[in-house]
Amino acid sequence: MGVEYPWFVDDAELLQRLLAGDETAFAALVTRYHPMLVRVARYYVNSEASAEDVAQDTWIAVLRGVDRFEGRSSFKTWLLRILVNRARSTGTKEHRAIPVDPTSTSSALAGRFDEGGAWREPVVPFTDVIEDSMVNKPVVRLVHEAISRLGEPQQAVVTLRDVEGLPTTEVAELLELSVANVRVILHRARTKVRADVEASLRGGG
């Protein structure tokens, strides 16, 4: 029987053991990352079942391609790149993908920028206003619903940066965008999410 690896065994060691034929190492990686994959995929596809299918397809791709992983990025970034590519493809087939110009702003948001495109007031990440996810479950739900309505690449950027907590540099690498562009997209996506949530709360009040 294989050994159950504790949480502190890092990805690099698990990958080495996987390449050596240790199936338990693969199981440990799945345990560590599968819930994250399903969460991210869910923003792109129509159902939990589709998200689960995309995540499963991602793990199959990992098994087929792990020997070609060169370690230029973290395993997590490489894994998410595979996942996002598959989720986007599935979402497109399900008519969920909506192209968005990352430099554009809607009329509802235009007042928050000056003529040069700079913020009139600093934008606080929406995650900072949710102090207790248990107390604010309705707000958390509204936030996730608002994210799911974002177009690309805003949805991917805010999901990876604010929901999954990846550094801006890794998000840029994963989505093949410049760091500066990721920051612009992120700020505008956060603003749109906040405006959407605020509108929902006013409407529900």
| Range of lowest pLDDT (69-78, 91-100, 120-129) | 120-129
Residue boundaries of the structural domains of the chain: 11-93, 107-204
Amino acid letter, residue 85: N
Which structure tokens are listed for 131?
């102090």
Residue 197 vs residues 18, 28, 126, 181: alpha-carbon distances, Å: 43, 37, 9, 24
117: helix, coil or strand?
Answer: coil
Confidence check: pLDDT of 98 > 70? no
Would the pLDDT of 118 be above 50? no
- The per-residue pLDDT for 148 is 83
What's the CATH number for 107-204?
Answer: 1.10.10.10
pLDDT of residue 204: 58
Report pLDDT digits (tens) over 22-33: 889 999 999 999
Task: Please provide residue 119's backbone torsions phi and psi, each rounded to the nearest 5 degrees.
Answer: -70, 135
Q: Is domain 11-93 annotated with CATH 1.20.1560.10?
A: no
pTM of the model: 0.65
Residue 126 sits at φ, ψ, to 5 deg, of: -60, -25
- Confidence band of 107 (pLDDT split at 50, 70, 90): very low
Domains 11-93 and 107-204 share a fold: no
